[in-house]
Structure 1
């Protein structure tokens, strides 16, 4: 497991108000850990918290950081992918309180040669698991028309 000490923007394409994770803590071929500082203001903050359904996007951006790390390791750059869906999103809180620090973990279950992937994801707050899901993603081939490429 590599410990990372670089800006998260070096690993994900998300910017400004749509960059929801703050730090990439660890990454290897099978696992990634990111951290979120739940904001006090912004697009998703309501009544002092971020709704729990945003946890799916925290998970997806953590997977994006994993993909960005792999891309950088082979000389490429992070690029957009697609969150296809989730299975069994279980959450044990109404929302993530502003000021909380979340640990988001994703473990590779499947990555196919066509770019399809499945990850088992967890969110922990104060050491307790507060959300979990399996998410399916697509990392389309470079140049694919799917995300505005030219192929």
Structure 2
């Protein structure tokens, strides 16, 4: 894996505390590893932990960071992508504990010319597997055109 020279904020179309990743540890043509420390934020539970379903957002942001690394490397702009869903999200934790140092690993399994991709993802705290999923994502060639609402007639 190559080291990532860019800050996470320059790889994702997110801002402020909506960015859950702290850094990208490395990436290559098919995968990315990142880390995050669970901190208080808009999705925190009263004890400072995060609900287990937020693991899917951490995974989706790692996929977005993978696409962002490749865009930056190619000298193109970072584009908006969409999490379409998951074929299976399995959580092995009741919550993502406050202060926990997490590692997120994503590996591309399939990509087609239309921009549809499938990624195998894992979320770990040290060696403990907290969650895994297969995410279906879509990155249109022109996200602005894709997100435009038709004018009412």
TM-score tier, shorter chain, comes to over 0.9
Which has more strand, going by share of residues?
1
Find the aligned partners of 1:28 and 1:147 in 2 and give their Cα distance. Answer: 29
Paired position in structure 1 for 2:60: 60
Could you list the per-position Cα deviations for residues 114-133 of structure 1 after superposition, in whole angstroms to 9, with x for gaps in the alignment? 10000000000022111000
Paired position in structure 2 for 1:35: 35
CA RMSD of aligned residues (A): 1.4
Paired position in structure 1 for 2:135: 135
Find the aligned partners of 1:146 and 1:51 in 2 and give their Cα distance. Answer: 31
Shift of 1:148: 4.0
Find the aligned partners of 1:84 and 1:102 in 2 and give their Cα distance. Answer: 24
Paired position in structure 1 for 2:94: 94
Q: Is the 2:114–2:140 Cα contact (8 Å) retained in structure 1?
A: yes
Paired position in structure 1 for 2:103: 103
Q: Residue 72 of structure 1 aligns to a residue in which SS?
A: helix
Shift of 1:79: 1.9
Paired position in structure 2 for 1:23: 23
Q: Residue 89 of structure 1 aligns to a residue in which SS?
A: strand
Structure 2 unaligned segments of length 5 or more: list them: none
Find the aligned partners of 1:48 and 1:71 in 2 and give their Cα distance. Answer: 34
Paired position in structure 1 for 2:43: 44
Shift of 1:144: 4.5
Find the aligned partners of 1:148 and 1:69 in 2 and give their Cα distance. Answer: 26
